[in-house]
Structure 1
Amino acid sequence: MSPDVPSPDGPDGPPQWEQMLRAMLGPAADDAIREMREMGVDPAAMAAASGLPSDPVALQQALSQVQSMLASSGDQPVNWQMAHDLARQQAAVGGDPALSLRRAKDVRDALSVAELWLDAATDLPPAPGTAHAWSRAEWVEATLPTWRTLTEPVAASLSAALAGALGPAIGELGGALTAVPGDDAAGDPTQLLRGLGSAVFGLQVGQAAGTLAREVFGTTDIGLPLLEHPSPALVAANVDEFAEGLDTPLEEVRLYLALREAAASRLFAHVPWLRAHLLDTVAEYARGIAIDVDHLEEAVAAIDPTDPTALQEALSGGVFAPQTTPAQHAALARLEHALALVEGWVDEVATTAAAPHLPHAVQMREMVRRRRAAGGPAEQTFASLVGLELRPRRLRDAATVWAHLTTTREVAGRDAVWAHPDLVPTSEDLDDPSGYDARRQAAVDESADLDRALAQILDDADGDAAGDGSSGPQAT
């Protein structure tokens, strides 16, 4: 805040505009303030305006600055330019130097060795494409298109609800929202609020993607394939940081994580229905998000749109919290089951491939399992975006099922189960792995009995038709 502009809350407390922004964005508020300043929006002018609502000139000036910033959102539910810029900034926190040739070679060599070891542990061939050694910024650039697929459905739903409920109240500002010259839509309260929602989501997506870029090892850590065309990649800085403080040598840690990344990439590359199934389930969950409009309108009705304190209290009171429906609970259950199957298969295959070569394979398996179960700040940020946690809650059970199938069907038979969604283990199979084959055989027998019954019915019908249509010699 500029030193010659007094804080509306006095010298001992943060200004009201800052409190409002923190209530709306939480941890992303600092980045929002910085982003606004970089885009030419003066928070000091906004503070002056909020403290002087009776001054139409000052208020109009501040609102015009905000409108200019929001105009860059266009009609998109997420301001992707803002998301991209903030993700790059977040990824660079603490430093993100370009990889040296030697460091990049070490990563690619680990991925190459991992592919050789995996050939003995799975029938699925390597994913096509080149293996990558990435900086955090490169991870952001490669994965943002999938973040768009994941977050736009919920962003569109929440922005529409915000505009519908707050539009009339913001409209009461009247002349303060006069259109910016040359922008016919800038004075429309609904358009302004949609722009606000787009900017807020841009900040949140950028915060989530940038934070994840400092935590993930590759492109499949959260269970979802973040590349449209899967190929293995490791973020070198994150692998190195994970290895620090462990009793296991960096080279061994890198090889184990390379095995997991390469195994997951093989799975997503050669099981065509799997990636679409996971992303469609996330989208189904997001599209089902509903806002308690009555609650929202009731809260907004009592707000003076010119009173920042009143609006701040409404925003911080959970007014915009989405309501979870039974259909969403069902989608979440399907997603958690699919994530468990993927993670369990990767866990089993990668550790089997590592066991003959890496002395600490079992210990690293347990460390990765615990890390995945606990989640982290980035996963929590993602949960706030889409409304769900990407946790494979039954990872250990799923790994047990895949190990059982390896024993009973060998590697080729186990991997053939991925050929069709109807063949993969169900929740019942996770409860009782040893009964998998018996249940599948029972289903086959039931289908065969049904086919025989249908064939008998058709044969009888043909016989009856032939009898009705035949006739002996006609008397003359």
Structure 2
Amino acid sequence: MDAPQMASRLINWDLAATTAARLSPPGPPLTPAEAAEAVASLRRLADAAVPHVHRITELAVAEDLRDSQVLIVDRAAWARANTQGFAVMMDPILRRLVETKASELTPAAARVGGALTGAQLGAVLAFLSSKVLGQYEPYAALAPRSTVPPAGRLLLVAPNIVQIERELGVEPEEFRLWVCLHEQTHRVQFAAAPWLRDHLLDTISELSESLVGNMDSILERAAAVAKSLRARSAGGAEVPSRGAIIDLLQDPAEKAAISHITAVMSLLEGHASVVMDAVDASVIPSVKTIRQRYAARSENRGPVESFIRRVLGLDAKMRQYTDGAKFVRAVVDKVGMAGFNRVWEAAENLPTEEEIHAPEQWTARMGL
């Protein structure tokens, strides 16, 4: 078995998708007519959102998005789509792992390990499948023999959107348009910066090469962290924060790569949040109520869900929305949307994590 074949077996992607579909909690009760109405409504409102995104972002590409597609999906289809995207993103690290650990890997071990990892990934996707309202997924288009359009696809998870609008007690059509504004902005971002997908993939690949190449060192540092935690706990000292632990587990190159990815994700999420919050009552009459009730819902999670979200890093993602939105608003207030849009011109124009928290440094570096 050659290295690419061995790498493809290290995670059983089909098992991940079927496990996620089996474990995903049921969606809200819908009659066939209600389900059909929700799908048709979301498809129509996804189209209706685009002119607003164009007006707010001032990005000309929003006028023509034909190289990607919009899909209205259920939870199982969302999980399956994500296994396809993950397979592309994980391919570099899996191949590198095969190359460095070839003497320790056998086809049988790869199959067994792949089944275990696939089942674990499926369980994670099952949890996430009931939380995600929408997602722009650009990576599956790069898979061999992919039928996904060249620029990717926007996924709107119909049962989750319906469930949240019912929980919030808001007008369905208005809530759906509000969600579509955010998600269509992500689609426009990748259209405005067609280099962004490969740039992120290259950064992830470089990070994975470093992590795999430094595996022995990482294990030594992990052992040191565990020893430190035990000593601190026994002595009643404060346990290090998650950030401090991450610092101990990464060398400078790894930390730089993760910092860059964090900054880019903060930019993308913050920009989309700014767009969805830029509409007023003339577009979405109940937008104030939607914002207030959605924010309040996010603060009232149970202890189990809160724990899982912390483990999966979802709380960190929520901070990206907030930090990124502050960056975008500060830049737009100072130099206008046209000045901010310099960010989509080249990878060199992306803000650093430090600049996300100090927007004036980015505008100075851009000469704005």
Instruction: Quote the sequence identity (%).
Output: 24
Return the alpha-carbon distance in structure 1 between the equivalents of residues 217 and 356 of structure 2.
Answer: 40
The residue that corresponds to 2:129 in the other structure is 213
Return the alpha-carbon distance in structure 2 between the equivalents of residues 325 and 376 of structure 1.
Answer: 26
Q: Secondary structure at the match of 1:232?
A: strand
Q: Secondary structure at the match of 1:121?
A: helix
Residue 146 in structure 1 maps to residue 92 in structure 2: no
Q: Note closer, same or farther for the CA distance 1:282–1:360 as it changes in structure 2 (3 Å cut).
A: farther
Q: Note closer, same or farther for the CA distance 1:294–1:283 as it changes in structure 2 (3 Å cut).
A: closer
Q: Identify the match of residue 414 of structure 1 among 340, 349, 360.
A: 340
Q: 1:385-424 residue pairs with structure 2 within 5 A?
A: 391=317, 393-424=319-350
Give how far 1:363 is off: 5.8
Q: Secondary structure at the match of 1:237?
A: helix
Residue 233 in structure 1 maps to residue 168 in structure 2: no
Letter in 2 for 1:117: H
Q: Identify the match of residue 187 of structure 2 among 244, 262, 265.
A: 265
Number of aligned pairs?
A: 316
Letter in 2 for 1:242: I
Contact 2:7 2:94 in 1 (8 A): no
Give how far 1:142 is off: 3.0
Spell out, residue by residue over 1:340-360, the C-alpha distance to the aligned partner (whole angstroms, 9 max, x if none): 111111111221135642245
Letter in 1 for 2:37: R
Give how far 1:92 is off: 6.5
Q: Note closer, same or farther for the CA distance 1:93–1:281 as it changes in structure 2 (3 Å cut).
A: farther
Return the alpha-carbon distance in structure 2 between the equivalents of residues 96 and 212 of structure 1.
Answer: 19
Return the alpha-carbon distance in structure 1 between the equivalents of residues 181 and 91 of structure 2.
Answer: 32
Q: Identify the match of residue 102 of structure 1 among 10, 27, 37.
A: 37
The residue that corresponds to 1:10 in the other structure is none
Return the alpha-carbon distance in structure 2 between the equivalents of residues 325 and 294 of structure 1.
Answer: 7
- TM-score, structure 1 length as denominator? 0.56
Q: Note closer, same or farther for the CA distance 1:156–1:253 as it changes in structure 2 (3 Å cut).
A: same
Q: Note closer, same or farther for the CA distance 1:246–1:339 as it changes in structure 2 (3 Å cut).
A: same
Residue 81 in structure 1 maps to residue 1 in structure 2: no
Q: Secondary structure at the match of 2:348?
A: coil
Return the alpha-carbon distance in structure 1 between the equivalents of residues 27 and 58 of structure 2.
Answer: 41
Return the alpha-carbon distance in structure 2 between the equivalents of residues 436 and 363 of structure 1.
Answer: 34
Residue 342 in structure 1 maps to residue 268 in structure 2: yes
Q: Note closer, same or farther for the CA distance 1:379–1:219 as it changes in structure 2 (3 Å cut).
A: farther
Q: Secondary structure at the match of 1:234?
A: strand
Q: Note closer, same or farther for the CA distance 1:420–1:431 as it changes in structure 2 (3 Å cut).
A: same
Q: Note closer, same or farther for the CA distance 1:347–1:95 as it changes in structure 2 (3 Å cut).
A: closer
- TM-score, structure 2 length as denominator? 0.70
Q: Which deviates the most, 340-349 or 225-234?
A: 225-234
Return the alpha-carbon distance in structure 2 between the equivalents of residues 74 and 143 of structure 1.
Answer: 18
Q: Identify the match of residue 203 of structure 2 among 281, 285, 302.
A: 281
Q: Secondary structure at the match of 1:114?
A: helix
Contact 2:262 2:353 in 1 (8 A): no
Contact 2:89 2:204 in 1 (8 A): yes
Contact 2:50 2:184 in 1 (8 A): yes
Give how far 1:408 is off: 3.6
Contact 2:89 2:201 in 1 (8 A): yes
Q: Identify the match of residue 164 of structure 2 among 224, 238, 242.
A: 242
The residue that corresponds to 1:201 in the other structure is 117
Contact 1:73 1:198 in 2 (8 A): no
Give how far 1:198 is off: 1.5
Give how far 1:154 is off: 4.9
Q: 1:326-475 residue pairs with structure 2 within 5 A?
A: 326=251, 327-354=253-280, 356-361=282-287, 364-365=290-291, 367=294, 371=298, 391=317, 393-434=319-360, 436-441=362-367
Return the alpha-carbon distance in structure 2 between the equivalents of residues 428 and 141 of structure 1.
Answer: 35
Q: Secondary structure at the match of 2:351?
A: coil
The residue that corresponds to 2:75 in the other structure is 136
Q: Could you say what the CA RMSD is over the residues aligned between the two structures, in angstroms?
A: 4.0
Letter in 2 for 1:195: R
Q: Secondary structure at the match of 2:134?
A: coil
Letter in 2 for 1:332: I
The residue that corresponds to 2:47 in the other structure is 112
Return the alpha-carbon distance in structure 2 between the equivalents of residues 153 and 244 of structure 1.
Answer: 42
Letter in 2 for 1:143: N
The residue that corresponds to 1:171 in the other structure is none
Return the alpha-carbon distance in structure 2 between the equivalents of residues 380 and 286 of structure 1.
Answer: 23
In terms of fraction of residues, the more helix-rich structure is 2
Structure 2 regions of 5+ residues with no counterpart? 142-150, 221-245
Q: Secondary structure at the match of 2:72?
A: strand
Contact 1:115 1:262 in 2 (8 A): yes
The residue that corresponds to 2:237 in the other structure is none
Letter in 1 for 2:18: D
